[in-house]
Amino acid sequence: MVVLGQVGQVHGGLMGVIQRAMVKACPHIWFERSEVKDRHLVAKRLTEHVRDKSKLPILIFPEGTCINNTSVMMFKKGSFEIGATVYPVAIKYDPQFGDAFWNSSKYGMVTYLLRMMTSWAIVCSVWYLPPMTREADEDAVQFANRVKSAIARQGGLVDLLWDGGLKREKVKDTFKEEQQKLYSKMIVGNHEDRSRS
C-alpha cells in the first residue's frame, strides 16, 4: 500500500483535527488560501518535494473545489508550474448507492461525513492516464488545460473553462469582458461574412 501526501487548504474545527493527524502519518502540504505569501511557499515546497526522489508521490486536486461529477472545471495553475511529470487520474462517481459530491454551501463537513458513512456504497470508476510533461512551448495554464482535457475525455465529463470558485463568488469583470469580446467577434464575424456575399 502506498500512502500519498496531499496538498490542501488549512481547515479549523473537526477537519483541522483530521489534518493534523494526517500530517503525523505522512507528509502533507497545507496552505491558507487567502495568503499570497503562502502560495509562493507552497510552490517552493512542492518543487522541493518532487525533486526529492526519496519522497512518496503527492496527490493534488487542481480544481480546488468539490464539483458535482458532471464536469471538470478550470485547474489552478500552481501545480503545473513546478516542472514535474503529472500522472493524471480521472475519477467518476456512480451516485446509484451514495453520492460522494459535497455541496459545501448546503452541508457542513460533519453532515457530509455522516451521509458518506451511512451510504450503502460509494462506487466510482478510476482511470490512470499516461504520464504528461510540460512541453517546451507551453505555459503552466496551457499545460493544466491539456491535462484537464485528457481527464475530461477519459471520464466522459464536460471540459469547462471557468473556475470552480464561481459557485461561491461573483464572476470576475475580466472574465465577463473576455466572454463579451468572444461574443462580439462572433457577431461581427457573421456580419462581415454577410456583407461580403
Read off φ and ψ for residue 156, nearest 5 degrees.
65, 35
Average pLDDT over residues 77-87: 84
Residue 185's pLDDT is 85
Q: What is the bridge-based pairing of β-strands 89-94 and 123-128? A: antiparallel
Q: Is the pLDDT higher at 25 or at 8?
A: 25
What is this structure's pTM?
0.67
Return the top range by mean pLDDT from 6-15, 27-36, 84-93, 184-193.
84-93
Q: pLDDT value at position 3? A: 37
Q: How many residues does the chain have?
A: 197
Model confidence over 31-46: pLDDT tens digits? 565 554 566 776 777 7
Quick one: average pLDDT of 109-118? 81
- Please check the confidence at residue 8 and state whether its pLDDT lies above 80: no
C-alpha cell at 52: 526529492
What number of other Cβ atoms are within 10 A of residue 172's Cβ?
13
Please say if the pLDDT value at position 137 is more than 90: yes
Average pLDDT, the chain: 76
- Give the C-alpha separation, 147 to 145, whole Å: 5
